[in-house]
Structure formats: structure tokens, C-alpha cells
Amino acid sequence: MTVTLSDVLNWIARLQTIYHENRQYLTDLDAAIGDADHGINLDRGFCAVQTELVKTAPADISAALKVVAMTLIRSVGGASGPLYGTFFLRASAYTAARSELDASDVVEMFKVGIEGIQQRGKAEAGDKTMLDTLLPALAAMQSTLKENSNLSSILTAAAQAAQQGMAATVPLQAKKGRASYLGERSMGHQDPGATSAFWLIQAASELWRK
């Protein structure tokens, strides 16, 4: 299959629903090791994104992703706004002049977006951040693409790896962000950013199957 503007808009709408419905859960996760605002921030940010997308009616995938990026950067506090904003901004740049995305385009879009998060946040795998979800997901995408160009298979593998990466943050000691101040007390808690990043991947996996 190919991913169209409509598919991207459906993905963003699904994320808004997911983050709204799980606002309290994400906030509770963040309360244990952070500022207790991750769910609140993402809910507010993606609600603002939906409002802006309706208002601007972007003409193509790149324009839609840029609206998402700039709205999140402008409206979401803490680290999640700049980090997710960077993801979507890099994705927007990659998809410029593309009316639709094939499987390799989708993998590359996630690659440049995740690299943007890594560069912006200066984190690595094992630091107990969203990258502990996103990096395994990207590796699964790239590995599956080499064997199978079917987008559903690629995203299914990515979602499975993302879920495993999310769960693997529980025993880790945080090395970045507010959670790192807790030292060993950050161990035993699932990272909220890794959780919201899992839903980013899972929503694409669920929707982009045809």
C-alpha cells in the first residue's frame, strides 16, 4: 500500500484520541518519575493540532506534518513538545514533494524523525526515554524492509519491537531528563515518553494496513 494525505491525517486524529483517552495514565506514569504533566501536555498539544489542521486544511503530507510540528512546539510544554515537534518537522522535510509514501518512504520518514529526536534530546538507548521505544521500532522496520516490502508487515514488526522496548524501560535507571535526578529511585517505573512513543508507532501500524 501507499500512505496518502488522508492516511496521515487519520493517524494524527487517532493519536489525538489516544492521548486524550490516556491522559491520566500518562500523567500517573510521569508523576512517579517526572513532572506529572506528560499526559496533560500531549492531550493539549494534539487537541491544538486537530484544531489547526481543520483551520488550515493542508494540501499535502509535508504541509500536514509541518502543522503538527509547529503546533506541538508552540503549545506543548516540557521536553515532549520540542522532541515530538522535531520528529514531525524532520518528517515534513523528508516528505516534501511526495504526494504519497511507499513502504521505504515510511521507514525513511520515521528514521529521519527519530534521528531528530536523538539529536535534539542527546539521549541513547538505555537512557530510559522515548528512544528506548523508537530505536528498536526503527531497527525492526529497517530489518523487515530488507526482507519484505509489505508495509503492514513492516509496521507490525515495528509495533511489536516498540512494545518490548517500552516494557524494557521499567527496570532501567533514568539518565536523562527530570527522572535522572531520582537516580536508582527511577527504577521500577515505565517511562511515560516511551509509552507515548509506543502509541505513535502502534497507531500507524493499526491504520496503515490495506
Q: What tens digit of pLDDT does each residue of 166-197 get?
A: 999 998 767 666 565 455 655 778 899 999 99
Mean pLDDT value across the chain: 91
Amino acid at residue number 153: S
The verdict on pTM exceeding 0.85 is yes
Q: What is the pLDDT of residue 79?
A: 82
Mean pLDDT of 86-115: 97
Confidence label for 93 from pLDDT (cuts 50, 70 and 90) = very high
d(C-alpha 27, C-alpha 50), whole Å: 21
CA count, 13 A, side-chain hemisphere, 121: 30
Q: How far apart are CA 191 and CA 104, in angstroms?
A: 29
Q: How many CA atoms lie within 13 A of 138 on its CB side?
A: 19
Domain at 5-207: CATH code: 1.25.40.340
Give the number of other CB atoms < 10 A from CB of residue 176: 18
Residue 109: pLDDT band by 50, 70, 90 thresholds?
A: very high
Comparing 84 with 35, which gets the higher pLDDT?
84
